[in-house]
A and B are shown apart, each in its own frame.
Chain A
Amino acid sequence: MVPGASISAAPTRSPATSPGSGLSASPALALSFIAVGLGFLLATVVTLALYPALLALPYPHPHVVALVHVWLPGFLLTVCLGAWYQLTPVILGTKLRGIRAAWVHLPLHTIGVVALTIGLASGRYGLAAIGGSLVTLGTSISAGIVLWTFIDSSRRDAIAWSLPLAGGWLAITTLAGVVLATNRQDPWLATPVLALLGAHAHLGLIGFFLTLLQGVTFQLVPMFTLGQLCRPRCVAAGVIATQIGLPVIVGALAVGHQATLIAGAVILAGGLAATATALATTFASRRKRRLEIPLIAFCVGWGFLVIAGLQVALTRLRSGTWESIGATSAYGHLLIPGAFTLMVMGMLLKIVPFLTWMSAYGSAVGIKAVPRATELSRPRLEKFWLSLHLAALLLGWVALGLPNALGALMAQATPWLLLAGLTLYAGNLGGILAHLHPKLASRHS
C-alpha cells in the first residue's frame, strides 16, 4: 500500500477526531479502598469462626449490631466507596475532583469503622460516637467530591444523578448514626432506640446502597454484557421513587406512624418494580449470552431485594407492623447478607479483576500478550462461594422459622456455611490481587 491507501473494517466513514476519552482514573485509590474492605471481610470471617452463635442472637444484641457494622460500613461500604471513586469519573465523563481528599478519606474511614465497631461491641457508646464522627467526616468528604465532579459534568440522566444522591444519603446516614450513639451514651431523644435503629439502617441501605445500585447497575450491566439500556424512564422512575419513598419511610419509622410507613413502603416497592423491569429488559438485550457467576449473584441479589420490598409492603399492609423480632431478623437476613451482599460481592468479582488487570497489564496491551481481565478470577471458586452463600441464607431462613432442636441445629450450621463461602471468596480475590505483584504479572504476560 502507498500513502493514501486504506483498510476499512466497516462501511466508509468520515471520522471526527475526539479530544480523547479522558476516562483514565488511577485504580490505586479504588483498589486501596477495596483492600481495606477485604480486611473487614476477613475480620467478619474470623469473628464468625470464633463466635458462630452470633448469627442466632436477636438483631438488637450489641454484638450483632457490631458485627453488622463490620459487615456494612466495614466491608460492603468500603468496597463500594472504592468502586464509587473509580466509577464516578467514568460515568460522569470527567476527571474525579479532590483525589487528595479521597486519599484522606481512607484512613478516616478505616480508623472510624474500627473505633465504631469496638465501641458498639463493648457498649462504649462514646467511643462509637467518636468512630462514627470520623466515618461521617469521611462520608462528607466523599459526598463533596462526587458532588463537585457531578457539577463539572454535563451528564444529567438518572444514572448520573444516582451518584450525588447516594452520597448525600450516605453522609446523612452516618450523621444519624452518631446521633444514635450519643443518644445511647446519654439519652436525650424520646423515640425508642429500636425505631431509631430501623430508621438509621434504612437510610443507609436504601439511601446509599439502593440509590447507587438503581443508577450504576445500568452503566455496568450493559458494559459487562454488551447489552443496551432499554427502559431509561423505568430507571429514572426507580431512582425518583426511592428519593420520595425513603424520607417518608424514615420519618414514619422514627415517629412510629404506621399509615405513613405503609405509604412509603408502597412508593418504594413501585420504584423497585420499575428498576426490576428496566433490569430485566437490559439483561434480555445482552449480546454476551452466557451469564457469569458474578452477574448471576448480582441478579439473585436484585431478586432478593424485590422480594424483601414486597415482603415489607405486604406485611405492613396486612398487620401494620412486624409480628416478631424473628420476622424482623428474617427481613434483615433477606436484605443484608441476601440482597445487598450478593449484589455488591457479585459486582466486586467483576470490578476487582478489571482494576487489577488495568494496573498489572494495562501498560503492556498491544506490546505483548496479556490475559483477559475475566481470566484473573477463578470461576470454580466463584461457583462454590455462591452455592455456599445461598445454602447458608436458605438454612438461616429455615432455622428462623423452626423454633425446635432441628432449627437450632440449622442455626449452628449457618455461620459455618457462610464462613466457608466467604473464605473461598476472599481467597479468590486474594489470588486476583496477587497479579499486582510484578513477578506473577510477568509470568502471565
Chain B
Amino acid sequence: MNTIATSPAPLAEIEQAIRTVLDPEFGLSVWDLGLIYSVEATPDGVVRIAMTLTTQFCPAGDVILSGVRAAAESRSEGWPVEVALVWEPAWTPEMISPAGRDFLGWQ
C-alpha cells in the first residue's frame, strides 16, 4: 500500500536520474530519445512515469523499463514509483530532442 509522502516529490532530480538511462544501441538518453512522455506526482502519493519504446518489438524493452524505474527510485526520496508503458501516441523519430538529433547526426 502506498503512503502519501509528506515532502514534495523531487521530480527535477528524478528527471536527471532518468537522463542517465541510455539506449544500449544508440547511447542516447531515453529522455533525449523522447521515450519519456510524462513524470508526475499523483494525488495519491505516487510518482508515475509514462514512457514508450521506439517499437513494440524492442528487445531491450524490459531492461529499459526497469532501468528507468531503478533510476527514478534512486532519487525519489521514498516516493513510490510507477512506470507505465504506453503506446499511444506512438513514438516517432520527431520526438527526439534537438540534442539527440545532433548526437545521431540527423539534422
Residues of A within 8 A of B (CB): 1-10, 12-13, 15-18, 20-21, 23-25, 86-87, 90-91, 93, 219, 222-224, 226, 228, 287-290, 354, 357-358, 361-363, 365-367, 369-370, 372-375
Q: How far is the CB of A431 from chain B (nearest CB, A)?
A: 17
Interface residue B99 (Cβ < 8 Å from any Cβ of A): no
Residues of B within 8 A of A9 (CB): 31, 34, 36-39
Do the beta carbons of A2 and B56 come within 8 Å of each other? no
Scan residues 20-75 of chain B and give those whose CB is less than 8 A from a CB of chain A. Answer: 20-22, 24-27, 31, 34, 36-45, 50, 53-72, 74
B25, B37, B56: the one contacting A373 at CB < 8 Å is B25
Residue of A25, A362, A366, A374 ringed by the most chain B CB atoms within 10 A: A366
Contact B9 A3 (CB under 8 A): yes
Q: A3-B4, A17-B86, A18-B85 are in contact. Are A366 and B40 (CB under 8 A)?
A: no
Q: Which B residues are closer than 8 A to A by beta carbons?
A: 4-5, 8-12, 14-15, 17, 20-22, 24-27, 31, 34, 36-45, 50, 53-72, 74, 84-89, 93, 95-96, 101, 104-106
Least CB distance, B107 to chain A, in whole angstroms? 9
Q: Are B25 and A18 in contact (CB under 8 A)?
A: no
- 9 pairs, CB–CB < 8 Å, chain A vs chain B: A6-B38, A9-B37, A15-B88, A17-B85, A21-B62, A226-B96, A290-B105, A366-B21, A372-B27
The answer to whether B67 touches A365 (Cβ under 8 A) is yes
Given A369-B20, A373-B25, A222 and B55 contact (CB-CB distance below 8 Å): yes
A2 to B8, CA, bound (A): 4
Knowing A8-B37, A365-B70, say if A374 contacts B8 (CB, 8 Å).
Answer: no
With beta carbons under 8 angstroms apart, the residue of B58, B68, B85 that contacts A366 is B68
A91 CA to B54 CA, complexed, in Å: 14
For the complex formed, measure the closest distance between the CB of B6 and the CB atoms of chain A, giving whole angstroms: 10
Known A-B contacts: A12-B38, A13-B89. Give 4 more (CB < 8 A).
A3-B44, A7-B11, A15-B84, A365-B66
Q: Are B85 and A21 in contact (CB under 8 A)?
A: yes
Q: How far is the CA of A419 from the CA of B89 in the complex (A)?
A: 50
A286, chain B: closest CB distance, angstroms: 8
Q: Are B86 and A21 in contact (CB under 8 A)?
A: no
For A290, the chain B residues whose CB sits under 8 A away are: 105
Do B58 and A23 have beta carbons less than 8 Å apart? Answer: yes
Min C-beta distance of B102 to chain A, whole Å: 11
Q: A5-B8, A21-B65, A21-B85 are in contact. Are A223 and B15 (CB under 8 A)?
A: no
In the complex, what residue of chain A is closest to B62 when comparing beta carbons?
A: A24
A287 touches B106 (CB 8 A): yes
A15→B62 contact, CB < 8 A: no
Give bound CA distance, A12 to B86, whole Å.
13
A297 to B12, CA, bound (A): 43
Q: Are B24 and A354 neighbours in the complex by a CB distance under 8 Å?
A: yes
Say whether, besides A366-B71, A372-B24, A17 and B65 are in contact (CB < 8 Å). no
> CB distance A365 to B64 under 8 Å?
yes
Contact A91 B57 (CB under 8 A): yes
Q: Cβ of B25: which chain A residues have Cβ within 8 Å of it?
A: 223-224, 354, 372-374
Instruction: Write out the residue numbers on chain B whose beta carbons fall within 8 Å of the beta carbon of A86.
Output: 59
Complex CA gap A12/B37 in Å reads 8
Docked complex Cα distance between A6 and B43 (Å): 11
Complexed CA–CA distance, A366 and B11 (Å): 16
